[in-house]
Chain A
Amino acid sequence: MSFMGYRREEGRAGTRNYVGLLSTVVCANEVAEGIAARVSGTVPFLHHQGCCQTPVDIARVNSVLTGLGCNPNLASVILVSLGCESTDVAGVAKAIAATGKDVKTIVIQEIGGAGRSVAEGALLAQEMVRQASVQQRTQCPASDIVLGLKCGSSDTTQGIAANPALGVASDLVVRCGGTSVLGEVTEFIGAEHLLVRHARNKEIGDKILALVKRIEDRAKSVGCDMRGGQPTGGNIKGGLTTIEEKSLGAIAKAGTAPIEAVYEYGQRPAVRGLVVMDSPGREPEILTGLAAAGCNVIAFTTGRGAPQGFPFVPVIKITGNAVTWGKLQDHIDLDVSELMKGTSSYPVEGQRIYKEILEVASGRMTKAEICGYTRAMDIYMVGPVI
């Protein structure tokens, strides 16, 4: 099995070919957005971090921006900096350039304001898009797929239909030598004993348990029953009663492959196969984490109808809810609701999803890309804003 992708200098394969405009601090977002609005072929990455944070989180901003810049779906990168942020802009630029990519930095305080920065950045971006546009798609083996797994706006159809079907597709990616990344650790709570059985060894199992304890302790530290936050109000309306129920349905999307490694948020897997990455369940943070980890395509199951996509990683939406499919076809790519009726099987629907993953990797646009709903992005922080 193969797909048509963009082979990058350091070996990875992209499924898209954008010039990325990475804002290095919340205060530079408007300029990155301004450039993106003027130059086709560019995408902005915007967020709320990069200043007045503890060193732990500043280090995370640096590593996540580096991971995003190295993502093979970006042909080249412009870092859009204000000039006084805590982010190590030069360090990020150097780390991205090490992959062989063209990296430029513009600094608003040095250029002299937003207007001049947008103008200068736009001229720079135009030239970089011209360079990027000559790259051709070439045949890449399915083992170059790095699949991000996500479920959101969940209801009870997910655990019964869409997630087990995605699990079959994830297993197919792994069997072809690819990588599949499972995040959303909040949605392991109550199901971690099942995931641990999939761990390659005890050390990996213990790491999974430690991640779950860390995120559950953080939720408990505010002194409330977390229900209403997880599962969300919408999950509850969709019939999900407890986090245990949500988690047992959520982990089905990881299939049956052994878990080979456990990573911190946004960290690039050093191994192939199924891996776990720390992250919360909310869309902007998990999608960003998966993109920073190097995912070149994301599969996202949704029962109630989550519209979110990401700026430069295609996000395939899959639902097992026939009512949602009827209402939200401009946001959802695949309907697997026959699984609810018992008129299809997991292997059949899993194959359909796998085929869709390879087609989207080859350039087929997702519904989220077509309708321009691709701005779910932010960096997951662990400490306070100070």
Chain B
Amino acid sequence: MKVLNGVCMNLRKGQRIGIIGESGSGKTTLLKSILRILPPNGKIVSGKIVYDGKDITNFSEKELSRIRRREIGIIFQDPMAALNPVFKVRDQLYDILRYKLMEEGVKPTSQMLGEYSLELLSDVRLPDPERVLNSYPFQLSGGMRQRVMIAMALVSANKLLLADEPTTNLDVTIQDQILKLIHRLVVEKNLSTILVSHALGMVNRMTDEVYVLYAGDIAEHAPTSEIMKNPLHPYTQLLISSTPRLSSVGVGEGIRGKLPDYREPPQGCRFAPRCPYAMDKCFTVKPRVIRQNNDHHVACHLYE
């Protein structure tokens, strides 16, 4: 399966970008490629990933592991994938905190670890942090697990924070608090962030720039407020019009058809078979990226 199809992205220090698209559009694959944690059958066939001035595409597992632990925090969609089911939350938190303190040249005492982890858990608004520390992941609710994972990710995020649907299991009032917390830490630590989500409202709130991913292609990218007000690519337009609003009634028609089979993706524009404006050319020629006003980039033949 050829999932990602020549993706180019550029993330500056302190910049917050969002990647949006339907499930199956390659968002998570992109994130996993950056971290080099693709499943065994996944391979980066070409291209490179430059992180902090270094080409990490061919870094060894050991070098990568150091970066992941010390510099990059990751929040996954499914907390069970990130938490070890056979260790208590305490052990898992202590483990990363001990590592962090040692890196900082501090000899961790158990009192220090205890206080630090209680503070972390209250930061992510977990009620009864003592009980959470003494629990195994399966003893917590989905929302609680998600917050434990966010707490862990925020410990190791010193340069980059990657978040894949970070708040899907949370209630909206709790989500609001967590988004504020993430925002505060991102500003304090001047973190660069990549937020992957299909929740456009959250992306609108949390990012400066948006990339729209469709079937492994970047369809469009622009500053967040620009793209939300003035989407150019038909795919982005349909995504935005399908999102229910608070202020008015009327949802769009959705998007006809479904994502292509990645074993034989369409020639030309991968969105053409579902596009209401598709022309003959769209089925044969892959559109190049065209730069419009306001730093708006779109890959669509309509704008040539």
Mutual binders A and B: no
